[in-house]
């Protein structure tokens, strides 16, 4: 039975992938239609598994977004690399619990190997420990939980035992342009967003390191600094070396949210943007963004293993702890039981190799530049950012002065047209179109075709 269901799924998956480059990129069905088709009363009895898969594939199809395809430039979304997607199928089929070594020596060891490869690729300190989590949010949470442990332990407080009530206050310093999930992760850790010390950013969204030094000089007690590698709008990377200098003066922990940009450290031609990154205490990255591992896949790195383990180690009488050389993955993540998320990461790294990762980074950055060059030459289009990474931000100028309205309307028409998909944002008080090139399938021709569609949409707005 399982075999027939898997064959059915494989046939649909192959058909989907073959049609991916030509699909209308955005969804064509809304919640009402999907609910009508897929919903109804809970079936009273069983249905054949292969039939269930066939129904799902058929009925869900036009509610799917071709975000894995070559012309999806919304949010920051990668497509699944072939080896990673197939390895993910195996992860589901094998159904391994990657919590403890004893539950899956293969999942635990493959994850450990992938962790080592990542640390080497990103040139982080060799002792760095890695947690395989669901995404950037939980990677930020994981790094910041290690930070919370470390800075409070240094102040003589055991937060794992005694919690935060009565603990020395922790000063949390963030950049004005941090991602919202930094606030979310801090909130989960008991640090309210109203208490954050916010350091202003420069015109590209980078934290001002000079102002960070001033802020830190005025603070006492344990401190955590949250920096960023890859602004969600501009792709700009905070001045990490200067931030680490300022934090070191004060004994503060540095966490880097690299959900968007950390992978650029693997590219010899882009690594300079992240100079100093190896001095951070913890870092977050998203494998489901630029590494093109299927959802969900985030990575938390901690260069102080003791703090990482102190925050997440778990023990119970019925657990069987791994012996020397045996990784218990749950020691590095908030979860205990979980899927073997390391398998597709291993497959992505093994299939690309060091040169393949660097080439992927460079290619996406080149595409972002190609967008900026082509759109920037067009009348009435303004490129708003310095294109340093894989993000391009543009705005459409309206002869009547309603630039925001025109920009939003161009975004709407592009989405409706379906050649590509992207979204909008507000940048420095202005409506803007965000173009994020994170998928491995995008070619020069896809960029050119997309530019044409964007300009056609702009020309259609009167």
Are 227 and 262 contacting, i.e. CB atoms less than 8 angstroms apart? no
Q: In which residue are the tokens 């206050």 written?
A: 169
The pairing of beta strand 381-383 with beta strand 298-302: unpaired
**Alpha-carbon distances of 455 from 378, 381, 407, 444, rounded to whole Å:** 8, 9, 12, 17
The residues facing 72 across adjacent strands are: 421
Q: In which residue are the tokens 């930020």 written?
A: 140
* Least CB distance to ligand PLP at residue 75 (A): 6
Are 341 and 294 contacting, i.e. CB atoms less than 8 angstroms apart? no
The residues facing 391 across adjacent strands are: 436
Are 108 and 326 contacting, i.e. CB atoms less than 8 angstroms apart? yes
Q: Which of 137, 215, 303, 450 binds ligand PLP (CB under 6 A)?
A: 137
Are 421 and 20 contacting, i.e. CB atoms less than 8 angstroms apart? no
Only segment of 92-100, 147-155, 257-265, 308-316 that touches ligand PLP (CB under 6 A)? 257-265
**Residue 87 in the binding site for ligand PLP (CB under 6 A):** no
What string marks each residue from 203 to 242 as x (binds ligand PLP by CB under 6 A) or -?
Answer: ---------------------------x-x----------
Only segment of 50-58, 129-137, 166-174, 199-207 that touches ligand PLP (CB under 6 A)? 129-137
Site for ligand PLP in 297-316 (CB under 6 A): 298
Q: Which of 84, 209, 237, 260 binds ligand PLP (CB under 6 A)?
A: 260
Q: Which of 336, 420, 272 is nearest to 133 (CA)?
A: 336
**Residue 181 in the binding site for ligand PLP (CB under 6 A):** yes
Q: Which of 76, 121, 246, 254 binds ligand PLP (CB under 6 A)?
A: 76
Q: Which of 111, 257, 328, 446 binds ligand PLP (CB under 6 A)?
A: 257
Are 266 and 354 contacting, i.e. CB atoms less than 8 angstroms apart? yes
**Residue 439 in the binding site for ligand PLP (CB under 6 A):** no
**Residue 74 in the binding site for ligand PLP (CB under 6 A):** no
**Residue 277 in the binding site for ligand PLP (CB under 6 A):** no
Q: Determine what percent of the chain falls in helix, strand and coil, rounding each to the nearest 5.
A: 50, 15, 40
Nearest 10 degrees: CA dihedral of 429, 430, 431, 432?
-120
Are 175 and 207 contacting, i.e. CB atoms less than 8 angstroms apart? yes
Instruction: Name the residue nearer to ligand PLP (CB basis): 183 or 446.
Output: 183
Only segment of 47-55, 99-107, 151-159, 256-264 that touches ligand PLP (CB under 6 A)? 256-264
* Least CB distance to ligand PLP at residue 230 (A): 6
Q: In which residue are the tokens 């989960």 written?
A: 188
Instruction: Name the residue nearer to ligand PLP (CB basis): 139 or 414.
Output: 139
What string marks each residue from 26 to 65 as x (binds ligand PLP by CB under 6 A) or -?
Answer: ----------------------------------------
- Interacting residues with ligand PLP (CB under 6 A): 76, 135-137, 179, 181, 230, 232, 257, 259-260, 286, 298
């Amino acid at each position: 039975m399982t075999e027939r269901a898997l064959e059915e799924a494989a046939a649909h998956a192959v058909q989907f992938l073959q049609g991916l480059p030509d699909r209308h990129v955005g969804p064509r069905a809304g919640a009402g239609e999907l609910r009508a088709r897929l919903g109804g009363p809970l079936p009273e009895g069983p249905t054949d598994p292969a039939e269930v898969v066939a129904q799902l594939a058929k009925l869900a199809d036009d509610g799917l977004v071709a975000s894995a395809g070559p012309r999806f430039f919304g949010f920051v979304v990668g497509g699944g690399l072939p080896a990673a997607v197939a390895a993910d199928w195996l992860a589901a089929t094998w159904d391994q619990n990657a919590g403890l070594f004893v539950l899956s020596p293969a999942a635990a060891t493959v994850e450990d190997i992938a962790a080592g490869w990542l640390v080497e690729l990103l040139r982080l300190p060799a002792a760095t420990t890695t947690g395989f989590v669901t995404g950037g949010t939980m990677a930020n949470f994981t790094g910041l939980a290690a930070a919370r442990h470390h800075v409070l332990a240094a102040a003589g407080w055991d937060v794992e035992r005694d919690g935060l009530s009565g603990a020395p206050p922790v000063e949390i310093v963030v950049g004005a342009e941090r991602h919202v999930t930094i606030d979310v992760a801090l909130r989960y850790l008991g640090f309210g967003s109203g208490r954050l010390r916010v350091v202003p950013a420069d015109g590209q969204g980078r934290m001002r390191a000079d102002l960070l030094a001033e802020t830190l000089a005025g603070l006492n007690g344990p401190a955590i600094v949250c920096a960023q590698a890859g602004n969600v709008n501009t792709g700009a990377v905070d001045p990490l070396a200067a931030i680490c200098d300022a934090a070191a003066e004060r004994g503060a922990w540095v966490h880097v949210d690299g959900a968007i940009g950390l992978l650029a450290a693997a590219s010899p031609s882009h690594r300079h943007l992240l100079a100093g990154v190896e001095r951070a205490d913890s870092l977050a990255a998203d494998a489901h963004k630029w590494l093109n591992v299927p959802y969900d896949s985030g990575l938390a790195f901690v260069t102080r293993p003791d703090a990482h383990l102190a925050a997440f180690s778990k023990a119970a009488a019925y657990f069987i702890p791994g012996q020397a050389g045996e990784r218990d993955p749950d020691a590095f993540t908030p979860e205990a039981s979980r899927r073997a998320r390391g398998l597709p990461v291993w497959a992505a790294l093994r299939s690309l190799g060091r040169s393949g990762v660097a080439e992927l980074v460079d290619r996406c950055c080149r595409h972002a530049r190609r967008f900026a060059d082509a759109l920037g030459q067009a009348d009435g289009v303004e490129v708003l950012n310095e294109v340093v990474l894989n993000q391009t931000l543009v705005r459409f100028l309206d002869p009547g002065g309603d630039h925001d309205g025109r920009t939003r309307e161009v975004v709407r028409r592009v989405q409706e047209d379906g050649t590509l998909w992207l979204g909008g944002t507000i940048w420095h008080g202005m409506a803007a179109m965000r173009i994020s090139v994170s998928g491995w399938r995008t070619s020069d021709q896809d960029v050119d075709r997309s530019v044409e569609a964007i300009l056609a949409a702009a020309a259609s707005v009167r």
